[in-house]
Structure 1
Amino acid sequence: MLKDKWIPILLLVLLGLLQHRLWFGKNSMVDYNELKHEVHRQSLQNANLAQRNALLEADIDDLKIGLEAIEERARNELGLIKKDETFYRILPADQ
């Protein structure tokens, strides 16, 4: 009688060991879920940083364009020049 039951018992023990490793061992489902949540948190943080970088780039572009516009306006309207620079203004001939 015991001879007939040892194979199913052995298979159940092996199944139990494999299930234990799947649920509680190294690289288990618990580890998988923790890593999945960590990846989600990191992707949210990356999205926030990308948005911040886009805003900073827009500010930099505005400052660059703004400074160039201010400098051009000062040159044309006020006749300002930089140090060690020669400025030539060509006036149209009177008709």
Structure 2
Amino acid sequence: MGQRVVPAILITLLVIFHAQLWWGRGSLPNVAQLTQQLNAQKELNQQAQLANDQLAAEVRDLQEGLEMVEEKARMELGMVKPNEIFVQFARAPAPAKAR
């Protein structure tokens, strides 16, 4: 009987470790899911970093001079200085093609 106890214990431990590998905390599916979440979060962080860098450059431009303020006012608000004439060009419609 003593000869059967040791292999039975070893097999039981092997089954427990194998079950832990597939269904326990830190299992292979769990690690794959966490890796996928990590990659998605890294992508979101990269997009947020690009937006932050763009905003930081815009703030730096606004702090350095009024050219950026004037450009934004002209483009977004339609600012025209005194004694300036606003001219807007419209494209002519493309001629119809004959069949």
Superposition TM-score tier, normalisation by shorter sequence: 0.5 to 0.7
Unpaired runs of 5+ residues, structure 2, are 70-99
TM (norm. structure 1) is 0.57
RMSD: 2.4
> How far apart, in 2, do the equivalents of 1:61 and 1:19 lie?
57
Counterparts in 2 of 1:57-68, with a 5 A limit? Answer: 57-67=56-66
List per-residue Cα deviations over 1:27-73 (Å, max 9, x = no partner).
Answer: 32222221122111111111111111001111122222232798xxx
After TM superposition, give the deviation of residue 24 of structure 1 in Å.
0.8
Larger Rg: 1
* CA displacement, residues 62-87 of structure 1 (integer Å, 9 cap, x when unaligned): 222232798xxxxxxxxxxxxxxxxx
Q: Find the residue that maps to 1:46 and give its secondary structure.
A: helix
Point out where structure 1 has 5 or more consecutive residues left out of the alignment.
71-95
Q: Which has the higher helix share?
A: 1
What pairs up with 1:1-95 in 2 under 5 angstroms? 4-67=3-66
Aligned residue in 2 for 1:88: none
* Runs of 4+ deviating beyond 6 Å: none
Q: If the length of structure 2 is used for normalisation, what is the TM-score?
A: 0.55
Label 1:8 to 1:59 Cα distance change in 2 as closer, same or farther (>3 A).
same
The number of equivalent residue pairs is 69
